[in-house]
Amino acid sequence: MTEYLANIIVNGQARPARSGATFAVNNPAHPSEIVGYAPLANVDDVRQAIDAAASAFIGWSALSPFERADYLFRVSQQLGTAQEDVQQRARLFTREHGKTLRETGMELSRLGDRFALAAGQAEQLATDVHLSTPPNDTIITRQPRGVATLIVPWNWPLSILGAKLPQALMGGNTVIVKLAEQCPLASLQTLEIVARVLPPGVMNVIASPPSELGDLLLTDPRIRTINFTGSIAVGKAILKKSADTLKTVTLELGGNDAALVLDDADLNEAAIESLVMGTFLTAGQICMAIKRLYVHRSRYRELLEKFTTAADQWVVGDGLEADVSMGPLNNEQQYKKVLALIADARRRGATVAEVGQIKDQATYNEGYFQRPTIVTNIEQNAPLVWDEQFGPVVPIMPFDTDEEAILLANATEFGLCSSVWTTDSKRAESVARRLQAGVTYLNGHGPTVQDPRAPFGGVKQSGIGRNLGIEGTLGFLEPHSISSPSGWLF
């Protein structure tokens, strides 16, 4: 297959890194295969990107929300045209990431949808609040913060970017996007389309290992806000490095999502498929995936049998194959982490069942593959239960009462997402309100049921602030009060 050569985007131009250096991106299904090369950006490239964004901010922030919405609508239209191009980018994405073509196609289409959704906020953003009672006349409006650094991880880069890039732009900010170096090629190619619609400098994009870029994206005083999605450890480091210049920081960090299957849950075929999808989509490499499955003891055996049977139908292999349900893990480091957690569970005496069908044994042996893995008879304090595994392995554990289920779900440092499965809507809401999480799904779980109009983010160690929804856009804006003596402004 052809090796793709990507560009960074600075001041409206897609170009190589200033040094001319590149780094290879490999296929996790066939690790010896080089998919393409990405520019190895350095501090000089970062400085140029910041210069461009700071210069473009003057004009972009002066536009009305309706004028910026027009740009975003045009971006959405451009991303959705030329299906042959979309299919080509999806194949490139699958080769560098590992996820299936179905998932890469979903991610590519979602980015355009989220630009359109953010553009629809123009009326709300253009409306000021007027306080006209004595002793003052006051207008409460909003101002864009300035240049924003947007940092996205490798697992769902374009989908996650779609929860912050359109919102930052809609709020009048200019941006520097930092893509993960593990799979930047299709994202860089897609964002070239976005850059062609926007004025130069409004969006700049780089993708290199952090060691090449220095700390300018976190410390330059012209950058006023940082929006990061990734690990807790890196999120805390970003918070510390941004402190000297008092930047606004939004952190969407890890999750250890609990799904609670209550005693009256309808465990029909659709529900089981939804539970399995919510667990194993993208080989479990989703912050909002089900990572702990708690089931009422009266339904435990039924759930376990149905869940295992459904997961066993999944086909594991190269994501380019049409009948493959789940590809490999994205990189060797994550692959080894998942294998270590499974090995630890076995050492602790847990029951480990690896299910699913292997498409091709030679490919499976070559790549970073792990079949869907179901673990039972495991203690709550085991690393597989306590940590975020970020892979295709899930512990399934029983509980006896709703109160116990809530306590188990909340007994974690994480608080990103959760779900409640029951036929009683009032009971579902009651349990959901007591779960310590930024999002709780009812009879569903994960990205396929996420409402993009609603804010997304976590509590506790799972983060600070929100993406998506009007709340996500407002996070890129500062309130501005304009006040006079009563009777003078109005």
Catalytic residue chosen out of the listed positions 252, 302, 305, 388 = 252
Amino acid identity at 331: N
User: Helices marked H in 327-388 — which ranges?
Assistant: 332-347, 361-366, 383-386
388 is catalytic: no
Catalytic residue chosen out of the listed positions 96, 107, 181, 287 = 287
Cβ distance 370 to 391 under 8 Å? Answer: yes
Which residues are CB-neighbours of 237 under 8 A, at least 6 positions away? none
* Residue 438, helix vs strand vs coil: coil
DSSP 309-325: HHHTT-EES-TTSTT-S
H-helix or E-strand spanning residue 469: helix 469-474
The structure tokens listed for 449 are: 């049921």
Ramachandran class of 370: left when φ > 0, alpha when ψ lies in -120 to 50, beta otherwise? beta
Spatial CA neighbour of 168 closest among 144, 141, 193, 204: 144
183 is catalytic: no
Cβ distance 337 to 370 under 8 Å? Answer: no
Q: The dihedral of CA 183, 187, 189, 195: what is its sign?
A: negative
* Residue 290, helix vs strand vs coil: strand
What residues are labeled active site?
252, 287
